[in-house]
Amino acid sequence: MLETIEKLLTQYWFLFAKGTGYTLLLSGITVFFSSIIGTVFAMLRMSNWQIGKFRPLHFLITAYVEIIRGTPMLVQLYFFYFLLPKAVPQLDFSPFTCITVACIVNSVAYVAEIIRAGIQAVDKGQMEAARCLGMSQKQAMVKIIIPQATKNVLPALCNEFVTVIKETSIASTFFVGELMSQYKAITGALYLTIEPLIIIAVIYFVLTFSLSKAIAVFERRLQSGD
């Protein structure tokens, strides 16, 4: 088995490297956009804007979060894979783009909850003190609350990155080039199952383990700055 693994690495290293690159690209794009959109959604969910006693923004974002978190990610991937090309045929969405959008939509729901929890974890007295100093609610959020909340949510956002890396394996259903897609390509060509799977598993482990250790170091530095 070890000899076969060595031959696979020698002959097909470029496919494993390509799969790793696509996995990191898909994960990076997902985390980047979900962090921005998730922050906006968290703010909208906490918005006090209302019509009578009804808070439409809170209701819509809450419904979105619950629907996304309550349905399997694979179902969401299928949904966007088939929906986007039909909804906007002029843009000619590639499979990779459709899956990326689906991953972002999925991740936004979790990031929004992370951001919301981080903001609400800041002592309410901070807002009251800022308002007593003459700041508006917006100024208090930007200058006082969000900087403190950022420290609370960064480790959780980094962990979301690790989770997204593992979840990209589901995208292999649509052959978008990430690691599990390369595994299927190699398996189909060589009729080998265990050996390429071991290599893929090791690559995933190295990626997630390295990120987890980097996050642990980052968290210790944040704690030492308290």
Q: What is the pLDDT averaged over residues 11-19?
A: 90
Domain-located, residue 13? no
Number of domains in the chain: 1
Domain-located, residue 3? no
Under the banding of pLDDT at 50, 70 and 90, the label for residue 225 is: low
Mean pLDDT estimate for the chain: 86
Q: Cβ–Cβ contacts within 10 Å for residue 62, how many?
A: 15
- By residue range, what is the domain housing residue 152? 21-177
Under the banding of pLDDT at 50, 70 and 90, the label for residue 51 is: confident
Answer whether residue 213 shows pLDDT above 60: yes
How far is the C-alpha of 18 from the C-alpha of 179, rounded, in Å? Answer: 8
Domain-located, residue 15? no
Instruction: Give the burial class of 213: count Cβ atoms within 10 A of its Cβ; 0-12 exposed, 13-18 middle, 19 or more buried.
Output: exposed
Residue 89's φ and ψ, nearest 5 degrees, are -65, -20
b/e burial code for range 178-206 (CB count within 10 A of at least 16 → b): bbbbbbebbeeeeebeebbeebbeebbee
Q: Encode pLDDT of 142-160 as tens digits.
A: 778 877 777 778 888 888 8
Domain-located, residue 213? no
Domain-located, residue 142? yes
Domain-located, residue 96? yes
Domain-located, residue 194? no
Domain-located, residue 225? no
Q: 94: domain CATH number?
A: 1.10.3720.10
Answer whether residue 118 shows pLDDT above 80: yes
How far is the C-alpha of 180 from the C-alpha of 173, rounded, in Å? Answer: 9
Answer whether residue 226 shows pLDDT above 60: no
Lowest mean pLDDT among 64-78, 94-108, 178-192, 196-210: 178-192
What pLDDT sits at residue 220?
79
Q: Encode pLDDT of 62-75 as tens digits.
A: 999 999 999 999 99
The overall pTM is greater than 0.85 = yes
Location of structure tokens 């071991």: 198
Helix (H) or strand (E) holding 112: helix 95-120
Q: Encode pLDDT of 26-46 as tens digits.
A: 999 999 999 999 989 988 888
